Amino acid sequence: GAETAQKRRKGRAGCARDLSKTVTARQKLEAQLTENNIVKEELELLDATNTIFKLIGPVLVKQDMEEAKATVGKRLDYITGEIKRYEQQMQELERRAEQQRELLGRLQQDFQRAQGKGAAGKT
C-alpha cells in the first residue's frame, strides 16, 4: 500500500538524481573531448622544428612530438570510451525510469478502482 508507493517515489527520485549526475558527467567529457581534439589539430600543424612543452605542476618540461601526439590520441580514446559508457548508463536509467512510471500508472489505476469499489459498497 502506502509503504510501497513511498518506496517507489524514493526510487524514482534516486533514478532522476542518478540520471542528472550522469548527464553532467557526460557534458564534462564532451568538453574534454572538444579540448583534446583542438590540441590534436594544433599538434598536426606543427613540424619537427617546433618545440613542445608539457606542464607538469608549475614547471614546463620539453616533450617529444610523437609522445605528445600519442598521449593526446590515448586521451581521446579514453574520453570517447567514457562517453559511450555514460550513454549506456543514461539509457539504462531512462529505461528504469520508464518502468517505474508504468508501474506507478498501474498502481494509481488499481487504487482508483479500489476506491470506486469501496464507494459503491457504501451506498
Q: Is residue 85 part of a domain?
A: yes
Number of domains observed in the structure of the chain: 1
Let me know if residue 90 belongs to a domain. yes
Residue 61 is predicted with a pLDDT of 97
- d(C-alpha 113, C-alpha 57), whole Å: 67
Q: What grid cell was written down for 54?
A: 608539457
What is the predicted pLDDT for the residue at 95?
92
pLDDT at 5 (0 to 100): 61
Per-residue pLDDT band for 4 (boundaries 50, 70, 90) equals: low
pLDDT in tens, 51-72: 999 999 999 999 999 999 999 9
Residue 56 within a domain: no
Any domain includes 9 = yes
Is 50 a member of any domain? no
What is the residue whose three cell numbers read 508507493? 5
Q: Is residue 123 assigned to a domain?
A: no
